[in-house]
Every structure is written in C-alpha cells, then in structure tokens.
Structure 1
Amino acid sequence: MTQKPPRKPKIVVSELDHERLSSLATAAQERIPEVADELLAEMDRARIVAAKQVPADVVRMGSFVTFASDNAAARRVQLVYPGEADIEQGRISILTPIGTALIGLAAGQSIAWTARDGKTHTLTVTTVEPPPQAS
C-alpha cells in the first residue's frame, strides 16, 4: 500500500510577493526547473492578500525564520531573493528547495520538502520575525 504524501499546510502570500515570486519562478524554469515548478505550485495554492493583511507570524520575503528540521538542529535564516543569498550569513534564497518550502508558512506549521538529493524532509517553523521594512 503506497502512502499518500501529507497534505500541504495552508499558506498566505502578499500580492507583491506573489507577483514577484511568480515572475522569478517563470524566469528560472530553464535553469532550475524542479525548484521553479515547486515555487509556482506554492504560488498557485497560496491565499493572496494585501501586504498589510499578512499576519506577522507568516514567512514572507525578508522574514527571519527559525525552524526545526528532521535532519538538522534548529536554524534561524532570512528568506531572500537569489542575488542576496549568502549561506554564511544565514540568508537563504527563495530559489532553493528549503526557501520555497518556507514561503507563506506560519509559526507552528510543518511542511514536507524534497532536498536536491531527492530525500524528503519535514521542517516546522517555530518563530517568524517580519522583514525589517515591514515592522
């Protein structure tokens, strides 16, 4: 008997993030189709709201996120656009499997995501700090 993948949690994305991320994913489809397709799928299922309606505990672009993963200790990262990514500084690109998994999640939510090596992992968001300009 095959096991159904767990249902994905509901996510919320601002109109601006939705527009920018949909364009970014479309532009990246040639270079990194797996991640681009996953990001487009996340944008398709997201509830889109005005920026001021995004709850403070929801991951958006620029948010600082602390999460626990089944394959590592808790980490605190900032979700950024590809040009700002710097793993040493804890800045994770939205165009990575884990970045795509994080967008739109609220504190307390979990999601299964597939790493580049094909292994599936689960992460749980523990805290979200809004982006500096959103506070």
Structure 2
Amino acid sequence: MIADAPASLRPAIILADKEADTLLELAIALSDRCPDLCRMLADEVDRAKIVAKSDLPSNVTTIGSIVRFHDEGSGAVRTVEIVYPSQADIALDRVSVMSPIGAGLIGLSEGQSISWPDLQGRYRRLSIQRVTNPSKSDER
C-alpha cells in the first residue's frame, strides 16, 4: 500500500473545474485496478482550489502540460507531458495522470515541490522547474 503524507504537508494546488470532475471520474472508474493511487488522486482533487479554466494561472500543471521537474533524491531532471491514460507513452515522455508522477504533479505550479511516493512506495521530492501549457488557440 502506498502511504501518503497528510494533506496539510502538501503544497496548495489549483485545478480547472471540468478537469477536476474528469479526474474524479477517472479515479472512480479505475479504483478496482489501482485503489491506492486512485484514492490519492481523489484526495488531491478534494483539497485543490477549483477555478474556472479561464481563471487558471498559466504556470499550473494540467492535462496536456509539458512539465520540467527535478527529482531531488536522484538529482535527475525530466521533462514530461501529463496526459490521460489512453495517451500515455513513456518512450515519448507522455506520463499518465494515473501514474504516481502524473498524480503528484497535477495542479502544481512552477516553483512548487511535493514529496510523493513512486511505484515502490518510496517518497521522492519533486520540484517543478517549468510548466508549458497548450496555447488558447489549441483548446477545443
């Protein structure tokens, strides 16, 4: 079982209203396959500040964001795109929001850090260095 840090020790996060609804639906739909991760994602949505998409700051990690982050434990710097599970492809650095890294990064802003468990349940401190979001013209 993946243990998680109390919400009071995690940084504030922001989610767009419709994306928050979609994430909760995903967590419920996949709860039989990955209950711990789904619970953690649902907890993140529950504690998030929910705003209209038009009010979401441009430096907040959302689905479709390209995120450069630093793993403080290993020293590695990675750049990934946060995507829905059906679009995930690790070879293309497309990380599912339903993976430990994806669930940990969603809603964070540039400059924020979070201690978040990996697949083995070990906590890693992830620090967001840059968030690039699709332009408004790319939105459907």
2:68 equivalent to 1:74: no
Deviation at 1:131, TM superposition (A): 2.6
| Alpha-carbon distance in 2 for matches of 1:35, 1:96 | 8
TM-score by length of 2: 0.89
**How many Å separate the matches in 2 of 1:79 and 1:90?**
9
Once the two structures are TM-superposed, the CA of residue 118 in structure 1 deviates from its matched residue by 1.5
Give the whole-Å Cα distance in 2 for the aligned partners of 1:24 and 1:66.
24
Q: Write the mapping of 1:1-135 to structure 2, written as runs, cut at 5 A.
A: 7-70=9-72, 71-132=74-135, 133-134=138-139
Partner amino acid, structure 1, of 2:25: S
Q: Secondary structure at the match of 2:21?
A: helix
Structure 1 Cα separation of the partners of residues 50 and 79 of structure 2: 25
Q: Which amino acid aligns with 2:121?
A: G
Segments of 4+ moved more than 6 angstroms = none
Amino acid at match of 2:115: A
Question: What is the CA distance between 1:73 and its match in structure 2?
Answer: 1.3
AA aligned to 1:33 is P
Q: Tell me how far apart the structure 2 counterparts of residues 25 and 51 of structure 1 sit (CA, whole Å).
A: 21
Q: Give distance in 2, aligned partners of 1:79 and 1:131.
A: 12
Give unmatched runs, 5+ long, in structure 2.
none
- For residue 115 of structure 2, give the secondary structure of its aligned residue in structure 1: strand
Q: CA deviation at 1:72?
A: 4.4
Q: Which amino acid aligns with 2:129?
A: T
Secondary structure of the 2:103 match is: helix
Report percent identity of matched pairs: 38
Q: Distance in 2 between matches of 1:101 and 1:29?
A: 17
